[in-house]
C-alpha cells in the first residue's frame, strides 16, 4: 500500500476521533436540551436522619451563616454534566456543588464569574439559620401578637426579644400570635422576635439502584429579611441522574423588597446555565408556581411581599 495513502487514512481516522471527542465534550453542558425543566406538586417529606452540617445555637443566639462543607459522600455514583461524581459540597447559601469544592460566593452562584462551577442552586442567596418575626408584647401577658402569619415559629423552641424572659419557649401559636411559657416582662410594640432553629443536613435514602441524596435547608431566611422563612431540599436521584429542588413551607411575607435568589443549574462556567425566573409580569406573574425559563444567567426569582411562594411539595 502507498505510504502516503496509509498516512492519509490514519490522519483521517485521527481527525474523526478528534471530531467525535469534540462532539462528546460539547454535549457536556447543563443548558437545554441536555437538561430539561418540569414541575409537579407532591408531598414535602423532611429528613430527620443523616448528617447535620450546620445548626443554629439557641444558647449563644448565633445562627449558622456563611460557610461550606466539602467532599461529602453522595452514597452512589451520580452523573452530572457528563461527569461521574461520588462526592459533593454544600454551600450554606442555598446550593451545592459537585465534587470536593470549597469556598464559593454568598449570592448569585449561577451568574457570578468568580463562583464555583457545576452547581445546583435551590435558593442561591445570602442565607442565615434564624427566623425573625415582628410582634407586640403586653406586660404580664404570655401572648405575643404578630403583624404576619406565624408559620415560621417553632413550638418548643426558645424565643428572644424585648420583654421576653430568659429561657422562655413557645408553647402554642395561632395564625397571628404565639404564646410563650412565661408572661412578658414589659410591653413593646412592633419589636423583632428571633428563634434560632435553622439547620442544614443531608442523607442518602432508598436502596440501589434507586437511591436519592437529599440535602435539606430547614428554617432558613435571607440575611436581610424579616418575617420570612424557607424550607427546601436539593435531591439527586441515582436511577436516572435527575436533579430535583423541592420546596416545603415558605413565606415571603412582611417586606416589600428582599434579595431575589438564583435557582437552577450551572455547568463548567457561568455561560452554561439552566435557570428559573420569577418576575412581576407574565408569564411567571410574581408566582413561584408558574416560574419561567431564565434567558440570562443573572435571572432570579422574586421574594417580595406580593410574591406567591412555591406550594409545599412543589418540585422543579
Q: Which of 236, 235, 233, 262 is nearest to 250 (CA)?
A: 233
Percent of all residues in the chain with a pLDDT value above 70, rounded to a whole number: 90
80-84, 101-105, 150-154, range with the lowest pLDDT:
101-105
Average pLDDT of 206-234? 95
| pLDDT (0 to 100) of residue 174 | 97
- Answer whether residue 6 shows pLDDT above 70: no
pLDDT for 81 equals 97
- Asked whether the predicted pLDDT for residue 26 surpasses 80, the reply is no
Q: Is 14 helix (H, G, I), strand (E, B) or coil?
A: helix
- Whether residue 107 is predicted with pLDDT greater than 90 in this model: the reply is no
Q: Is the pTM value of this prediction over 0.75?
A: yes
- pLDDT confidence bin for 15, thresholds 50/70/90: very low
pLDDT reading at 34 higher than 70: yes
SS3 66: coil
pLDDT tens digits, residue range 231-281?
999 999 999 999 999 999 999 986 656 679 999 999 999 999 999 999 999
**pLDDT at res. 257:** 62
Grid coordinates representing 79? 452523573
Provide, rounded to the nearest whole percent, the portion of the chain with pLDDT above 90: 82
Question: pLDDT tens for residues 52-85?
Answer: 999 999 999 999 998 999 999 999 999 999 999 9
Give residue 74's region: left, alpha or beta (phi > 0; psi -120 to 50).
alpha
Residues 6+ apart with CB under 8 A from 309: 247, 250, 251, 252, 288, 303
Average pLDDT score, the chain: 90
Tell whether the model's pLDDT for residue 14 goes beyond 90: no
Q: What is the mean pLDDT of residues 24-45?
A: 82
**Taking a C-beta distance cutoff of 8 angstroms, is the pair 219, 225 a contact?**
no
pLDDT confidence bin for 45, thresholds 50/70/90: very high
Residue 230's contacts (CB-CB under 8 Å, 6 or more residues apart) are 123, 127, 217, 220, 221, 247, 250
Amino acid at each position: 500500500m502507498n505510504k502516503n495513502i496509509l498516512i492519509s487514512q490514519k490522519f483521517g481516522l485521527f481527525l474523526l476521533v478528534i471530531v467525535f471527542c469534540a462532539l462528546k465534550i460539547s454535549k457536556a453542558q447543563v443548558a437545554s436540551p441536555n437538561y430539561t425543566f418540569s414541575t409537579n406538586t407532591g408531598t414535602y417529606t423532611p429528613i430527620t436522619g443523616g448528617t447535620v452540617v450546620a445548626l443554629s445555637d439557641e444558647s449563644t443566639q448565633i445562627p449558622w451563616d456563611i460557610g461550606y462543607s466539602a467532599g461529602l459522600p453522595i452514597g452512589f455514583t451520580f452523573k452530572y454534566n457528563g461527569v461521574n461524581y461520588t462526592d459533593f459540597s454544600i454551600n450554606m447559601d442555598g446550593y451545592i456543588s459537585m465534587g470536593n469544592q470549597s469556598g464559593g460566593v454568598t449570592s448569585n452562584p449561577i451568574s457570578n464569574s468568580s463562583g464555583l462551577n457545576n452547581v445546583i442552586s435551590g435558593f442561591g442567596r445570602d442565607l442565615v439559620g434564624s427566623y425573625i418575626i415582628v410582634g407586640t408584647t403586653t406586660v404580664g401577658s404570655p401572648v405575643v401578637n404578630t403583624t404576619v402569619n406565624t408559620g415560621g415559629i417553632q413550638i418548643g423552641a426558645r424565643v428572644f426579644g424585648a420583654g421576653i424572659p430568659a429561657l422562655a419557649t413557645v408553647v402554642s401559636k395561632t395564625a397571628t400570635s404565639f404564646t410563650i411559657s412565661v408572661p412578658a416582662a414589659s410591653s413593646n410594640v412592633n419589636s423583632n422576635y428571633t428563634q434560632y432553629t435553622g439547620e442544614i443536613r443531608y442523607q442518602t435514602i432508598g436502596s440501589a439502584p434507586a437511591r436519592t441524596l437529599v440535602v435539606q435547608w430547614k428554617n432558613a431566611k435571607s440575611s436581610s429579611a424579616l418575617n420570612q422563612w424557607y424550607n427546601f431540599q436539593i435531591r439527586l436521584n441515582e436511577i436516572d441522574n435527575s436533579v430535583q429542588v423541592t420546596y416545603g413551607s415558605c413565606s415571603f411575607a412582611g417586606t416589600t423588597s428582599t434579595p431575589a435568589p438564583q435557582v437552577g443549574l450551572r455547568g463548567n462556567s457561568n455561560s452554561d446555565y439552566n435557570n428559573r425566573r420569577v418576575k412581576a409580569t407574565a408569564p411567571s406573574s410574581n408566582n413561584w408556581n408558574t416560574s419561567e425559563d431564565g434567558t440570562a444567567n443573572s435571572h432570579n426569582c422574586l421574594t417580595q411581599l406580593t410574591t406567591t411562594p412555591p406550594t409545599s411539595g412543589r418540585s422543579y
